[in-house]
Structure 1
């Protein structure tokens, strides 16, 4: 039995280096013809062309070593197939490896070391990597280690189709470069960028479920202030109109959180020459997209965690006595509903239809929606539900369009016994504070060298 051949194969390759270097090396794929020089070297002294396997491997690759032992055992049983094991590692590394693996050292494998040429023809990233070449010199299969087995080798040796899936490595992938992928391929995404020119500001939410039991899988805030994004995350998607005094931002840089319209005096005294200058620094786009719909409460907690990390802010929840809207129910009017039933909430000029809706959701909706002016402060402060989570169905008809909010409340109280009164109560208040004070710019990777910390 001959010893494993390393030097001879390497020497033969050296004799081809000049010829191959002069030619333009092109990646070979399934169906391509192997260059004659390569086939002559692979076939060696064989008179008749044989089915050939070029096996790429490395000493650190555990599946590769298992594959080497398989290929070696095949060669011990038959010489009807050519096998060339190719590695980029040098001869000393391979010799040292063989000293530790005596069973391979005395085998029949031909090993090519310090390879650059073969990998140029068959570029790959993942080992093992196997090229199956038929007797006509055509690449018939390119496979990984999972398809290298004795059954397939026997089929291939007999010129029969093997059971294999062609392997295609992404050789252009560079983990050190920014990661890019088409939008449709993202399963989970959290992204935060600067503003986008040429569009307005706003927020879109992708929801499913019932009127007051929603699930969400996407929120996209575009050209938005940090204040607006925090409002949505802190209040679980409920409009700030219903909770306008329950989040407090403690900062010495108001324009970091608020728009020039929201902080006009600060903007007037600032170094910004225009609103556009402020927008470039402080309007941002943020998207959170999940693979499936989850409860809005959990979703917005994820959003808040994102904003805390991205923008270096901390959030604290305290209790304070503030004016609240207390919702109570006359037990004589209480109706029983199934919380698993579907819910409906419709308001138009003809009336109000609410089916199986929680009382707090109903009044939050009305408080936010029924106002004289779009920017009017809502009539009721934050709601506290003291009905025990009651759900009701409401049917009101309007004869002269939608009445004022106070009138709708009266109708609901008279007909359904649901009452609202204002009084001071302990309420959870969210305090937002910057962890780090910035000299000018907000949490953008390119600006880290400009950040200053005030201690």
Structure 2
């Protein structure tokens, strides 16, 4: 009798899932009831599959993520701690559309998630349709009655907000609303458009400059239309430093280190935008179209537009900049040996918090250099010659190079404070 019941239940679940897929799935909003979503594949769970009703009576936080998303992965330890603290009243459920085999390996080998016991739903096809998003992590907060209480990013999962969710109180979080139209999000058309498609072959020159636009993604890119012989440069929702750096490097791929990239001698009140905290008043949008077949030379137009808009005069100089250089120490090559042999390319403590262990596994030196310099106030350079891979483990503290060199020496590496010639951008009053 029990076997017949299980078979019948399985048929009902499969039928319900198939019916849900067959219907046009409409996105849910705050205040809507969430259907009993079935997850065909689960990890770290008491059974291979599951459904939301398994957690009936608890508040639920669905965390949409993917393994290449750095903020998604770095927040898992915090979510795991919340799950442990509020285990009786809360279920944190990370959900990804990525293959089960990929996530299983990732969960075993990644520095940030290895050992965490969070239950996961993988190969999802439903949740992303119910709660569409273009930026991640994307969190759906569901109260004990099964109603959507909040839709947010990963920055609001505090103990105070969790207690409100569990207690059925108003959370008061601003709803995360992603722009799902890619043509708008990535500015596939010019920012100001009047019958552009019918008239783009007539455009000889066009440039546009504005303050922050919420519907656009912060990004820069260059495009060449070889048929109509048009070049387009896009730089949306970037800071003053980002804009000038993009213009002067001509998209060269050189390592960016914004604290040492620009010197302000001007009196324009617009801040450079080096703060970590998001501030839309420091962000600007720029769009450029001109006749040509190459992106070479776009900088002369962009620099002139920026100087005119910010009322400054800019130029570039070569200067000796203080920096820290990591390089090979002698002829040893221990740094070629991975920390985790079966792990993927990864970094722990990419933000280089002081006195926290920084681990690089199977990393390209150039990639590591570019990413670390997004966080460190001091310029960090890797001078590894033609080496394509670097692996090391060191407690990061630039105030204690002796200890760092002792640890790096195990990998035939060293770090030294020195100076290197770098191009800097000077801004002066026009």
TM-score (norm 1): 0.36
TM-score (norm 2): 0.38
